[in-house]
A and B are shown apart, each in its own frame.
Chain A
Amino acid sequence: MIRKHILVALVQDRPGVLNRIASTLRRRNFNIESIAVGHIEQPLLSRMTIVVEGDDANVEQVRKQLDKIIEVIRIADITGESPVAREMAMIKVRATPSTRSEIIQIVDIFRANIVDVSPDSLILVVTGTQDKVDTLIELLRGFGIREMSRTGTIALPRGGAGPLTIEENKPLRHAVEKAPDDEEGLPDW
Chain B
Amino acid sequence: MIKTGAEILCECLIKEGVEVIFGFPGGVLLPLYDTLPRYPQLRHILVRHEQGAAHAADAYARVTGKIGVCLATSGPGATNLVTGIANAYLDSVPLLAITGQVPSHFIGKDAFQEIDITGITVPITKHNQLVLSTDDLARAVQEAVHVAMTGRPGPVLLDIPRDVFQGRTEYICPDKIDLPGFKPKLFGHPSQVRKATEMINSAERPVIIAGHGVNIARAHPELKELAENAQLPVVTTFLGIGCFPESHVLSYGWLGMHGMGYANKAVHNADLLIAIGMRFDDRATGGVSTFAPQARIVHIDVDAAEIGKNLKVDVPIVGDVKNVLQVLNKQIVKRDHIGWLSQLDGWRAQHPATEVRDHEDILPQYIIRQIYEATKGDTIIVTGVGQAQMWAAQYFFYDKPNSFVSSGGLGTMGFELPGAIGAKVGCPNETVWCIAGDGGFQMTVQELATMVQEDLDINIAVFNNGWLGMVRQWQELIYNKRYFGTKLYNPDFVKIAEAYGMKGVRVSKKIDVRPAIHKAMDHKGPFLIEFVVEPEENVYPFVPPGKTIVEFLEMPSPLGSLQK
Contacts and interface: CB of A to CB of B under 8 A. Distances in A.
Interface stretch (B184-192, B213-221, B257-265, B413-421): B184-192
Interface string A150-180: 0000000000000000000001111111111
A61 B308 contact: yes
Contacts of A69: 181
Contacts of A23: 122-123
B564 interface: no
A53 interface: no
Interface string B155-181: 000000000000000000000000111
Contacts of A175: 183
Nearest to A178: B187
A12 interface: yes
A171 B180 CA distance: 8
Interface stretch (B234-242, B315-323, B345-353): B315-323
A55 to B, nearest CB: 13
B303 A68 contact: yes
Interface stretch (A89-97, A112-120, A132-140, A181-189): A181-189
A65 B152 CA distance: 13
Given A70-B127, A179-B187, A179-B323, A173 B305 contact: no
Contacts of A182: 190
A57 interface: yes
B119 A73 contact: no
B375 interface: no
A179 B180 CA distance: 20
Given A180-B190, A189-B316, A189-B317, A64 B182 contact: no
B230 interface: no
B332 interface: no
Chain A interface size range = 35 or more
A72 B181 contact: yes
A86 interface: no
B451 interface: no
Nearest to A171: B180
Given A23-B122, A179-B323, A189-B318, A71 B181 contact: yes
Interface in A36-81: 57, 60-61, 64-65, 67-73
Nearest to A173: B183
B192 A189 contact: yes
Nearest to A11: B181
A100 interface: no
B445 interface: no
Nearest to B310: A61
A16 interface: yes
Size category of the B interface is 20 to 34
Given A23-B122, A70-B147, A73-B180, A57 B308 contact: yes
B553 interface: no
Q: Is chain A's interface secondary structure helix, strand, loop, or mixed overall?
A: loop
Interface string B332-375: 00000000000000000000000000000000000000000000
Contacts of B113: none
Contact of B305 (A61, A183, A188): A61
Contacts of B191: 183
Q: Which of A171, A178, A179 has the most chain B CB atoms inside 10 A of its CB?
A: A179
A172 B309 CA distance: 27
Contact of B187 (A16, A174, A176, A187): A176
A176 to B, nearest CB: 6
Contacts, number: 71
Contacts of B304: 64, 67, 189
B180 A12 contact: yes
Contacts of B308: 57, 60-61
Interface string A1-31: 0000000000110011001100100010000
A188 B304 CA distance: 11
Interface string B118-131: 11001100110010
A67 B327 CA distance: 26
B180 A67 contact: no
Interface in B420-461: none
B190 A183 contact: yes
A16 B119 CA distance: 8
Nearest to B190: A183
Contacts of B307: 189
Contacts of A70: 126-127, 147, 179, 181-182
A176 B181 contact: no
Given A61-B305, A68-B305, A189-B317, A12 B189 contact: no
A119 to B, nearest CB: 43
A30 B356 CA distance: 49
Nearest to B122: A23
Contacts of A65: 305
Nearest to B191: A183
Nearest to B304: A64
B194 to A, nearest CB: 10
Contacts of B318: 189
Contacts of A187: 189
Contacts of B186: 176-177
B180 A19 contact: no
B189 A61 contact: no
B282 to A, nearest CB: 16
Nearest to B186: A176
B330 to A, nearest CB: 12
A187 B192 CA distance: 11
Contacts of A179: 187, 323, 327
A186 B122 contact: no
Closest 8 CB pairs of A and B: A64-B305, A172-B180, A73-B181, A189-B189, A70-B127, A179-B187, A173-B183, A23-B122
Interface of A: 11-12, 15-16, 19-20, 23, 27, 57, 60-61, 64-65, 67-73, 171-180, 182-183, 186-189
Given A19-B119, A177-B186, 6 more contacts: A20-B122, A69-B181, A70-B179, A176-B187, A180-B190, A189-B318
